[in-house]
Amino acid sequence: MGEFALKSVRMLAICFAWLGCLAYSAQAAAEPVVAVTQAQTVDPDELPTDETPDRIAALTAECDADDAKACTRLAYFYHEGDDVPQDDVRATALFARACHLGDMTGCSMAGYAYGAGQGVERSHERAAAYYAFACHGGDATACSNLGLSYIGGDGVPVDAKRAVQLFRQACDMDDMDGCANLGASYSLGKGVTPNQRQAARLFERACNADDQHACYNLGVLHRDGLGMPRDYKKAFALFQQSCGVDEAAACGNLAMLVNDGRGVRRDRERALELFDRACQFGEPESCFTLGRAYQTGKGIEPDAARAIELLERALELDPNTESAAEARKALNLARGTDVGASQNKPRKTAE
């Protein structure tokens, strides 16, 4: 069976998760952009050690006998669909039972399920309640997730200062999601006085622990000279590293550096490949940029149908993305004129 991991809502860029930020400039880096992202961590002790059907039967019997950890282990099997049919309804019920029996990992997973609407009707209020209970019980991931609830006002009032307290609590327990979220709080000045140097230290700590979201955040600081001298080569290396594990925003920002020749030799063909990859991962600004390339024929063979497809995807992914107005104008042009016929380009992009 593959490694299990506790679900944790995290940040991708210098913004809070759910937040996938594609920041092309220092100004954009300071603007939170909402998107959905999740990451996973778990104590290795929570992992089931036997994949046989007999183990499922044994865990079921142990859970029925009020063994909290057995309920959590069994829930993971149903959550992942390993050795049993995937069943989020049963998994969430088991996580909740484990929580009621005192297992904090079960509480965190039940909170995640309610927040995501997996196997139950979505309820941010119940998610926050489970996170609060687990955090009080010492679960670091729950503390970080509860902090994100306070950032977004999901099931609790918006309270950035309370969020910072929770992120710090999680980070102090060596939870790298908490450290990365605390770093974003310092970078954005959410609930705390802005401090880019402190943000960089926190991002670097999490990045060194192989948190690729934090590595991407650190790359943004290097690229924009926030709390440190501007260093495109370091930014390039960090974006490339994070893009390598399919971070959409990292791929999009890497494409911008490659397209502009910052920190690396300029390579339009490679840049378009990276924009395509980021778009496939759901990054709307990359879809817009690639759509304009197909529309104008800059570095690629013009293709009206492909341009329309990409511009539509950009708006479907995020109708309020930074380039939404320009995307709508470009889409109208693509639908009403030949590719490349327009002399009125919406804005300067990576064309």
Residue-wise pLDDT for 262-280, tens only, equals 999 999 999 999 999 999 9
- Per-residue pLDDT band for 337 (boundaries 50, 70, 90) equals low
Q: How far apart are CA 275 and CA 294, in angstroms?
A: 12
Q: Please determine, for residue 329, whether its predicted confidence score (pLDDT) is greater than 70.
A: yes
Q: Please determine, for residue 20, whether its predicted confidence score (pLDDT) is greater than 90.
A: no
Q: Please determine, for residue 2, whether its predicted confidence score (pLDDT) is greater than 60.
A: no
Instruction: Give which of 109, 75, 77, 113 is closest to 94, Cα–Cα.
Output: 75
- Structure token digits, residue 201: 């230290």
> For the segment 130-184, what is each residue's pLDDT rounded down to a tens digit?
999 999 999 999 999 999 999 999 999 999 999 999 999 999 999 999 999 999 9
Find how far residue 282's CA is from the centre of its chain. 11
Q: With the C-alpha atoms ordered 290, 291, 292, 297, is the resulting torsion angle positive or negative?
A: positive
pLDDT mean over 116-141: 97
Pick among 1.10.3720.10, 3.30.1330.10, 1.25.40.10, 3.40.50.970: CATH of 231-351: 1.25.40.10
pLDDT of residue 16: 53
pLDDT of residue 52: 56
Instruction: Give which of 66, 108, 59 is closest to 82, Cα–Cα.
Output: 59
Write the CB contacts of 6 (distance below 8 Å, at least 6 apart in sequence).
Answer: 40, 41, 42, 43, 46, 105, 108, 109, 112, 141
Amino acid residing at 224: D
Q: Please determine, for residue 46, whether its predicted confidence score (pLDDT) is greater than 50.
A: no
**For the chain, domain boundaries:** 231-351
